[in-house]
Amino acid sequence: MMRSWLNIGWCLSLILLTACVEEYELPVTAKGEGLLVVDGSLYVEAGTAEVKLTRSQRLESKGAAKGEVGATVWIEHGTNNKISLVERAPGLYKAAGLNVVYGTEYRLRIKTKAGLEYMSTQMAATPTPPIDAITWGVEGDLVNIRVSTHDPTSKTRYYRWEFEETFAYAAPYVTANILGADGKMRLRTPDDSVYQLCYRYNPSSAILVGASSKLAEDVVNNFRLTSINGNSEKLALRYSMLVRQYAISQAEFDFWQILRKNTEEVGSLFDSQPSQVRGNITNRNAPADPVLGFFSVKSMVTKRFFLDKTQLQPYAFKFTPDCFFQEIPLIDGALDQNFINDFIALRYVQVDRRDPIDNLPSEGIAWMVRYGCVDCRDAGGTGKKPSFW
Amino acid sequence: MKKYLFFFACLLALGSFSVQQSLAQTSPSKGITGSFAGVSFQEFVRQAEAQTGYRFYFNPAQTDSLSVTLSAANQPLPAVLEQLFKNTPYRFGIDQDQRVFIIKGEELQAQLPSDFLNSGANNGGSDEEFPGYFSKNSAKTASVGSETKLYEIGLKTNKITPGTATLRGKVLDAKTGEAVIGAVVMIESPLTAVNTDENGVYALALPKGRHTLIIRSIGRRETKRQIMLYSDGRLSVDLSSHVVTLGEVLVSGNRARNVTSTALGVTKLDISTIKQVPTAFGEADVLKVMLTLPGVKSVGESSTGLNVRGGAADQNLILFNDATIFNPSHLFGFFSAFNPDIVKGIELYKSSMPAKYGGRLASVLDITSREGNKQKFSGAGGIGLIASRLTLEGPIIKDKTSFIIGGRTSYSDWLLKQLPNSNLNRSKASFYDLNVGLHHAPNDNNTISVTGYFSKDAFKLASDTLYEYQNQSLALKWGHVFQENLYGTVTGAFSGYNYRVTSSNNEVNAFKLAYRQEQFSLKTDFVYNLNLAHTIDLGASTMLHQLNPGTFSPLGEASLVAPDKLAKEQGLESALYLSDTYEVTPRLSVTAGIRYSFFTYLGPKTVLTYAPDVPKDENTVAETNTYGSADVIKTYHGPEYRASARFSFTESASVKVGYNRTRQYLHMLTNSAMISPTDIWKLSDSHIQPQLGDQYALGFFKNFKNNIVETSLEVYYKTMQHLLDYKSGAQLLLNHHIETDVINSKGKAYGVEAMVKKTEGKLNGWLSYTYSKSLLQSDGQDFEEKVNGGVYYPSNFDQPHSLNLVSNYRFSRRISASANFVYSSGRPITFPLGIYELGGGKRIFYSDRNQFRVPDYYRADVALNLEGGHKAKKLAHSSWSLSVYNVTGRKNPYSIYFKSEEGVVKGYKLSVFGRPIPTVTYNFKF
């Protein structure tokens, strides 16, 4: 709401041809990269531990964060009990086969390759109540997926959810030409499988925390996990979601809640004050230095949910794949080879009247079409049906 | 910048040159040349008589201690004598026969030296007939007759008896008959000065005898009255304003008042000064001019929220004719809420807040409107690029009753509709306001006035959400003179502010959010001049606050929005005050005051009580109590001390100290740094304590050049308690238990303010520099209640350095030019510093709160004012104002914000006035 207030001020000034927006670069003293980020979990029921160590990046960075390699990571509990984690991938430290007990306090310890020591506060878990239901509903163009749960003992109060979504999707066409592993176009051979049905997997990235603390009973009723546009590809065939529910402490709830507000409401003059959020990990060598992230002992329950296109039929949603046929221009009667090559570099493939495509344009000889319309794997999914499907 | 300084230097040079010239023109051609180093006065006279044709007449006994040190090169004698006798008790007069009479000031009034009369030729015998030099000087002014006439005051006696007598009277505007408030009535030796009060009334205790009374007021011609004071009596004076008399225009502050009053941190500006300062859209802006004063800042270019001496925007009491104005801005702050044609003057109290004011921590901005012309019907107006205005005024009963009515409206809506962009022409941005005033003075002892104000703003972005807000106020005031030395007023006022946000784009989500607050107040104030040494102010006030902090309701039948309504709040704020200004000796004057304020938070209301010693939240509610209508829920009360003292070293130099305490029971809830139209006000209640402020101030004041140049250096230190800060992500709108989202924090502010002001002359203006800090500390028990780990951190408006230059140069009676220069440190900001991966997504890492600053702000503006032809009998006087705002086109940041685009967080800087803005405004007056 406040943002729009700013916008109209901006627009009004535009009328007066005076306002201007330009990119702003942070002053060099504003350094935010290179801080240790700890994403650590100890799973009670699974008896596993997973700690991801990365470093923060500059604001404009696009790539994935680099893992912090070569650190010594362990979890302490009781007197002198130590669980060592082993680096399985750069920055990813794991342990399995652990006996993790509700109510016991665990502490994460890290010693980086550079010799700096980090330590979390003591954390414990309480059993997470089961998920009662995952439901869906339509509001306008949106399909909302919601979760409900309750704790009859009223002990949980604070919840966090994560989910993984999996959906089936299709590539509508089969063509004579395909793109090889080298990215070059070649003719299809009988050895080349046809990939018209794929499954794509997305983890959730939003921060989903809820509290029943405002209510008389420890009940979470229809907490919205996600909203999906009804016309999107995700819902075109079949959609599935695996919901993981964790009971968390109030401290962890506050941490995620502030982080959520900070991230979702990026500051302008009218927005609420963002603030530095401190997790439960400190640098033992320099306690004032910020350490990002959180270590939690997680009690987890999961539930899977399916939504089939037949269930959505009453709403007349329609997904239209982006499969535009880009006509290849002719140069002296021949197809423009440069045009074709340029489009191949963008992962397009050539189609013509030989291909069994019934909605080709009536005019023209040959076209380029997105390769994802021919091979569903090109959109990032896999052709292998998941075991739960 | 360099160029600008050069230009200013030129202006200065021109200014001083012209002063010299004007002196030279008033003297005879014969000059005096020579270098006198400590010679006796008699020796000087001998040489002067030899070189010039003048003859000197004086009492050697009076001048034997006088030595002369000066050098002159063919300078006219009057100029030399003026220089010689400046700041001495000696006075001189020159008649047509080139006779120079030297007298010692004080002696003249009681008895004339016998040999003076003997040596002077017997031309009249009494001193009131000094026709020469003085009258020549005053011959420039319009009212020659009255300035040279000797007024005999009181019961005439043959012999003046020793002692003092009190002169009382009224200063009126010669054209409109309106009382002139704050005019200075003074004599120069011994320096005695008073200001006229809100009815234009003054009372001045003077030694009996002969005096030259000088009457000055901003924007009006200075006038003098020769008086012979025999005993207590009255003298009323008409001052002509510069609009009528097109002679030399005086634009001056209250000369010497800065030095002689006991108050610190007080600035008084007349509308004519305000009108000289260039603004973005050509219309004089009361609040923008405030920002050029030391210690007054703002967080954004087009924000009208003022931050006075490190205080928040809600800590200023903005009074418009005794009624509070809650949102003093129009059109995102591009215009202030006050119509410049209605405003008479403003007074800002940054430090020595008079005991009669209270309820806010940082300052009082008292804006008064004009009473209306009691003599004849007249009007004024202006046509600008975005808005226009018109004011009409005139007598209803001549000399007794007058009216004034003024309105302004924007046509930005119309401009928006003309645009080809469909998003823009579905937008809306408009305002209008209306002022009405009635003033009735049935006799000398009574005045009654009714003033009303109404404003409305509406804006909307691309057919989405419509924001509207209104200010309303109505004040009824009766002033009565009980006896010569007791004056009182009774004021009843109503102030209202409301806003409404409606969104109808999506009929399912269509909503209406309404907010409303009202204040009803009744107060009475008395000024009692107990005797010459004591002036007592006393009074009482009570104010009922009623707030409807938020009603959220569905709009339209299809809307599925769940209605929500916050419970109404009400409270009663009352105060008693007593203050005495005591002139202990002419050098030492003390003002001591106490204001005792009471606040009661009243039902009906359901109040939550939280468990002690844990952070307040929904889980720690211990009990719920319901109070009935007008039940007392919580009472706060306490004294507010107001004290200041002045010690004069000389007539033009003084040192002052001050201490004041203020309490504030009404708070604005805002997450942003400036006043925005969805801010909510909140009364102190069981959980939110009144804000408490203490300020210590010390100031040095020195005037030069016969009070034309005023300088001041003020230092202050302030502490503030129970300020409201917010937890991260606090929800302010429609929060049923705001106490769970606020943090009780404290603040401190300190600074040094230096100012040089030239009040008169062709070149006038001021230059000020401020160094200040404003810090907050939120150190609650809980993590959420600690900001930056609980240490002091800069507030949103901590801008340590600021420099302001406001200057006006009058080339001729018709052409004047103004130039402004503003520099200020950038305001603090919280930056996102980096990104990191956590919980499956990218997160932003923020700096400590307000750890960084936006780039420094500086801006230069110029304006040229052209007055139309100056025939006195003309249908309308018109003027053109051409101004260029932000001449250098610097892209000062209005806001720096960050947006996430394609997974990358990018910073943007928005400059509202990112290039020079030329504006033309046509103003007229009839």
- Considering all CA atoms of chain A, what is the largest pairwise distance in Å, rounded to the nearest integer? 84
Query: pLDDT at residue B4 above 50?
Result: no
Which residues 289-318 of A are in CB contact (within 8 Å) with B? 290, 292-294
Task: Supply the pLDDT for residue B304.
Answer: 60
Mean pLDDT of B805-820: 88
The overall average pLDDT reported for chain B is 80
Residue B7 scores a pLDDT above 80: no
**Per-residue burial over B13-39, b = 16 or more CB atoms within 10 Å of its CB, e = otherwise:** eebeeebeeeeeeebeeebbebebeeb
Bigger pLDDT: B30 vs B793: B793
Give tens-digit pLDDT for B584-620.
988 899 999 999 999 999 989 989 888 777 677 766 7
**Distance of alpha carbon B861 from alpha carbon B288, whole angstroms:** 13
Specify the pLDDT at position B711. 93
pLDDT of residue B842: 81
pLDDT exceeds cutoff 70 at B284: yes
Tell me the average pLDDT across A116-136.
Answer: 92
According to DSSP, residue B637 is labeled E
Out of A20, A64, A267, the one facing B897 most closely (by C-beta) is A267
Give the pLDDT confidence score for residue B770 in this predicted structure.
94
B832 and A33 within 8 Å at the Cβ level: the answer is no
Of residues A29, A58, A270, nearest to B672 (C-beta): A270
Answer whether B107's CB lies under 8 Å from B64's CB.
Answer: no
Distance from CA of B815 to the nearest CA of A (A): 28
Task: Nearest by CB to A272, from B302, B729, B842: name it.
Answer: B729
Proportion of chain B above pLDDT 70, given as a percent:
84
pLDDT at position B495: 96
Q: Convert the pLDDT of each residue in B49-78 to its tens digit.
A: 877 778 887 777 667 767 777 777 777 887
Looking at the complex, does the CB of residue A64 fall below 8 Å from at least one CB of chain B? yes
Pair of tokens at residue B172: 């009126």
Q: In the predicted model, is pLDDT for residue B862 greater than 70?
A: yes
Interface of B with A in 785-814 (CB under 8 A): 787-789
Lowest mean pLDDT among A323-332, B414-423, B464-473: B414-423
Looking at residue B244, what DSSP letter applies?
T
- Quick one: average pLDDT of B611-635? 82
**Would you place residue B403 in the very low, low, confident or very high pLDDT band (cuts 50, 70, 90)?**
very high
Q: Which of A214-218, B79-83, B599-603 has the lowest mean pLDDT?
A: A214-218
Judge whether B465 and A8 are in contact, CB under 8 Å.
no
User: What pLDDT shows up at residue B919?
Assistant: 82
The average pLDDT across A134-152 equals: 90
**Could you tell me if B888 lies within 8 Å of chain A, comparing CB atoms?**
no
Lowest-confidence pick of A148-152, B241-245, B364-368: B241-245
Stretch B890-908: mean pLDDT, rounded? Answer: 74
A267 touches chain B (CB under 8 A): yes
Task: Give the confidence band of B734 by pLDDT, cuts at 50, 70, 90.
Answer: confident
Q: What are the respective helix, strand and coil percentages of chain B, to the nearest 5?
A: 15, 55, 35
What's the pLDDT score for residue B590? 93
pLDDT range class, residue B108, cuts 50, 70, 90? very low
Confidence of residue B639 (pLDDT cuts 50, 70, 90): very high
Range scoring the smallest mean pLDDT among A35-39, A251-255, B91-95, B799-803: B91-95
Quickly state the pLDDT bin for B733 (edges 50, 70, 90). Answer: confident
Contact between B907 and A25 using a beta-carbon 8 Å cutoff: yes
**Helix (H) or strand (E) segment spanning residue B109:** helix B105-110
Contact between A20 and B508 using a beta-carbon 8 Å cutoff? no
B604: contact with A, CB 8 A cutoff = no
Q: Does residue A26 belong to the interface with chain B, where contact is any CB pair within 8 Å?
A: yes
Task: Identify which of A264-268, B237-241, B543-547 has the greatest average pLDDT.
Answer: B543-547
The answer to whether A388 faces chain B, any CB pair under 8 Å, is no
B561 touches chain A (CB under 8 A): no
Pairwise CA distance, residues A249 & A123, whole Å: 9
- Contact B726/A62, CB-based, under 8 Å? no
Highest mean pLDDT among A184-198, A271-285, B291-305, B415-429: A184-198
Share of chain A above pLDDT 70, in %: 90
What pLDDT does A37 receive?
Answer: 94
Contact status, residue B78 vs residue B101, Cβ threshold 8 Å: no
How far is the C-alpha of B287 from the C-alpha of B274, rounded, in Å? Answer: 9
Radius of gyration of chain A (CA): 26
pLDDT at B140: 33
ipTM over 0.95: no
Of B836, B848, B900, B920, which to mutate for an interface test with A (greatest number of A Cβ within 10 Å)?
Answer: B836
CA dihedral A221, A224, A230, A235 (to 10 degrees): -90
pLDDT at B20 over 80: no
Confidence of residue B478 (pLDDT cuts 50, 70, 90): very high
Q: Quick one: what percent of chain A has pLDDT higher than 90?
A: 39
Rounded to an integer, the average pLDDT of B280-292 is 82
* pLDDT at site B184: 83
| Lowest-confidence segment of A307-316, A321-330, B116-125 by average pLDDT | B116-125
The owner of tokens 């943007």 is B908
Best residue of A92, A256, A275 to probe chain B, by most B CBs closer than 10 Å: A275
Q: Which residue is closest to A294 within chain B, CA to CA?
A: B838
Question: Which of B599, B750, B597, B714 has its CA nearest to residue B662?
Answer: B597
What mean pLDDT is reported for chain A? Answer: 85
State residue B46's pLDDT score. Answer: 82
CA-nearest of B848, B858, B849, B850 to B893 is B858
Residue A216 class from Cβ within 10 Å (0-12 exposed, 13-18 middle, 19+ buried)? exposed
pLDDT of residue B358: 92
Question: pLDDT-derived band of residue B203, with 50, 70 and 90 as boundaries?
Answer: confident
Q: Any CB–CB contact under 8 A between A227 and chain B?
A: no
Better-scored residue on pLDDT, A136 or B141: A136
Banded pLDDT at B414 (limits 50, 70, 90): confident
Task: Say what the pLDDT of residue B133 is.
Answer: 36
Higher pLDDT, B694 or B128: B694
Q: Which of residues A241 and B730 earns the better pLDDT score?
A: A241
Q: What is the pLDDT of residues A348-369, one digit of tens each?
A: 999 988 888 888 888 888 899 9
Look at A15 and B416 and tell me if their CB atoms are within 8 Å. Answer: yes
Average pLDDT of the segment spanning B649-664: 92
Among chain B residues, the shortest Cα distance to A5 is held by B461
Residue B485: pLDDT over 90: no
Answer yes or no: is pLDDT of B38 > 60: yes
pLDDT at B537 exceeding the cut of 80: yes
Predicted confidence at residue B110, as pLDDT, reads: 33
User: What is the share, in percent, of chain B residues with pLDDT greater than 90?
Assistant: 29
Q: Pick the more confident residue, B335 or B416.
A: B335
Q: Is B317 helix (H, G, I), strand (E, B) or coil?
A: strand
Task: Find the mean pLDDT for residues B188-208.
Answer: 79
For residue A2, give the nearest of B672, B841, B905 by CB distance.
B672
Mean pLDDT of B647-671: 90
Q: Residues B745-770: pLDDT tens digits?
A: 999 999 999 999 988 788 888 999 99
